[in-house]
Structure 1
Amino acid sequence: MKKALTVFAAAAMVSVMMASNAFAYIGWVRDTRFTPERWWYSTQDNFGDWYRGETGKVKWAWIDSNHDGLEECYCFGDDGWMKANQRTPDGYYVNEKGQWTVNGVVQTRSAHYYAPGTKK
């Protein structure tokens, strides 16, 4: 009986540890320590990766964060923070939400979704 309880406890522990991966966060992360608040976009588990440019450069990323089938283009600095309400270092304008705009119109494209492992 004691052996069965030990096996059950071990199995339960492994199940809990495996389930934690199911709750990995991908999405916008806000940092309110700054004024104005700053945002970055987590792309992997445990906030382990995000969009950022090479040193001295910006990184542009198409993101469908509201899952409406349209991606908006966002600009991130080499520190990973999203640029907002400004002209970017490479000369484009982003609105208060960080979305690339031309003459006040947010630029979008159709979102492309792929099954895992099939993206080309």
Structure 2
Amino acid sequence: MKKRLFIATLVISVLASFAANAGTWKKNNTGWWYDYGNGTYPASTWDWIDGNNDGVAECYYFNKKGYLLVDTVSPDGYEVNSNGAWVDNGRVQTKNVARTTNTNSNTTRRLTDEQAERAFQNYLYAYLGDLHGTNSYWDNETSGENPIVIRFKAPTGAQSYYYIDRYSGYTYVTRYDVAEGIETLTDRSFNLWDYLY
């Protein structure tokens, strides 16, 4: 099976507030990549990054080796400029995000895996109703990582992925095409903290 795209078409809609990843841009002879600061980096995905922490993020596409695409069209058909930012009709697409905080601080609010799973179950009940007795299931694809990734399989067999920022709680949803091995962004987004009760 093809390596799935974490965020294949993030650019379908301008999403609500999301704490951009706190990391560092790096460059070598091959090109630019974004180091999340924890030994990981985006690959085969779109990512909203607020590189200067001004509260405004731009959307970038990274190839399967983790390098930023520049002056080209992404695999899902969207244009990126010479800085690698997604552009539509020549205009860089941005969104407001929460300014990042020191994620190593003990005072930073952070969802645990258990809290995220409980809140996700509450969200499913609020959004889809009672799923008991159906052929649906979900599981946490990550453990202690940011973002948290939860895979959900609906009773119809459709699969979705929920990407949850562990600090802000911002969550966006993608639909996964099993036959094609491609993931596309839906227009659903929400804050998981709202479902932690």
* TM-score clears 0.5: yes
Higher relative contact order (CA 8 A, sep 6+): 2
Structure 2's unaligned 5+ residue stretches are 1-21, 101-107, 111-166, 170-197
Q: Which residue of 2 aligns with 1:40?
A: 33
- Candidates 64, 79, 93, aligned match of 2:79: 93
Give the strand-richer structure, 1 or 2. Answer: 2
Q: What per-residue deviation string (whole Å, max 9, x for no partner) do you get for residues 42-66 of structure 1?
A: 0024xx110112xxxxx00000001
The alignment of Structure 1 onto Structure 2 pairs a total of residues equal to 85
Superposed, which structure 2 residues align to 1:75-90 within 5 Å?
75-90=61-76
Percent of paired sites with the same residue: 35
C-alpha distance in structure 1 between counterparts of 2:76 and 2:32, whole Å? 20
C-alpha distance in structure 2 between counterparts of 1:85 and 1:66, whole Å? 21
Structure 2 residue 57 is the aligned partner of structure 1 residue 71: yes
Call closer, same or farther: CA 1:113–1:69 in 2, change over 3 Å. Answer: closer
How large is the RMSD of aligned CA atoms in angstroms?
Answer: 1.8
Give the helix-richer structure, 1 or 2. Answer: 1
Structure 1's unaligned 5+ residue stretches are 1-24, 54-58
Superposed, which structure 2 residues align to 1:1-120 within 5 Å?
26-31=23-28, 33-34=29-30, 38-45=31-38, 48-53=39-44, 59-113=45-99, 115-117=108-110, 118-120=167-169
Deviating beyond 4 angstroms after TM superposition, the runs of 4 or more aligned structure 1 residues are none
